[in-house]
Amino acid sequence: MASAVELGGRFTARAVSAASGGAAETPKNRKYLRGRASMAKSSNLLKVAVGQMTASADIQSNFQACAGLVQEAVAAGVKLLSLPECFSFIGSKEGESLSIAEPLDGPIMKSYQNLDREAGLWLSLGGFQEKGPDAGHLYNTHVLLDDAGGVRGVYRKIHLFDVDVPGGPVLKESRSTAPGTDIIAVDSPVGKLGLTVCYDLRFPELYQQLRFQENAQILLVPSAFTKKTGEAHWEILLRARAVETQCYVIAAAQAGKHNEKRESYGDALIIDPWGTVIARCADKEATGIAVAELDHQFLESIRQRIPISQHRRYDIYGHSTGGAIGTTPHEVKLSSL
């Protein structure tokens, strides 16, 4: 498998200038952009990676693909690797996910813990089919492992994907998945991590709480976006969450055709607190990783220069709690939005 940091390689991360945020330098903004560039030269940089793959109904084959991504991450010297939603299984028939669901101490998760322990890095496993509260439902669970293979965080997806995608599939996640009820943030060597999964991305209130109540610095968004919704909304939503929370965003992605019925958009990304894409897989559909360096000095400089945490008017609009967490989702037709 090719190295993720090999120039011109299939899995090379494409870096975007951290100094400009994608903006051209003009006489008006030159001073600010150059100041931003100098702040980005901190010596305290933390290397992380985001993964992209095409999972199938073959659990062992998926494990081998994930093991290859872990090996790439180790070779690149990263401290944390994020793998996408459904990293261990994507079925082609209704009910398949439910039939293979296991508790977190079952053999599938144990195999990933052993892999992680041997690799010696933190591993974000986003979207594991965990045995649920009853025989008819599982949890879509984001599991965070430390560098010794220990479970450090467990987030069960709150927002379930019940959507009729125009020109795409009809998906009703709540048929076999129970929603979670807890917001989870975990301290790690690369910063405080806010755990989410895929469709959560469309609900900014969750990310507001992770930043302003849980003090998250990095938002993990492992996903399996559909081709149609990914083309329209994937990058813009991720960049919006980064800008409005002033956090790094690491968005692992499923990519390509999993079976005759299901295809994912791909385009795994890492985004900085200014909303700049600082790494992405060169091929939106190929299996591989993208690597970036996180700079907490830069993150704090953004928060100090635009202090939105101090300017929030909870006295007027209250905290971003919204409705009751864990309520049954309603099926939505995107064509009607």
Q: Which residues are catalytic?
A: 85, 157, 198
CA 20 and chain centroid, separation: 24
Residue with tokens 């704090």: 300
Place of tokens 């909870």: 314
Q: Which positions ≥6 away from 33 have C-beta within 8 Å?
A: 19, 20, 21, 23, 25
Nearest Cα to Cα of residue 22 among 3, 36, 9, 12: 36
Angle at which helix 296-305 crosses helix 30-39, to 10 degrees, equals 140
Residue 115 DSSP SS3: helix
Cα–Cα distance measured from residue 164 to residue 167, given in angstroms and rounded to the nearest whole number: 9
Please count the other Cβ atoms lying within 10 Å of the Cβ belonging to residue 23. 13
Token code pair at residue 86: 């459904």
What is the H or E stretch that residue 194 is in?
strand 193-195
Widest CA span of the chain, in angstroms?
Answer: 64
Q: Any residues with CB less than 8 A from the CB of 226 and at least 6 apart, and which? A: 165, 168, 169, 171, 263, 264, 265
C-alpha–C-alpha distance, residues 10 and 122, integer Å = 24
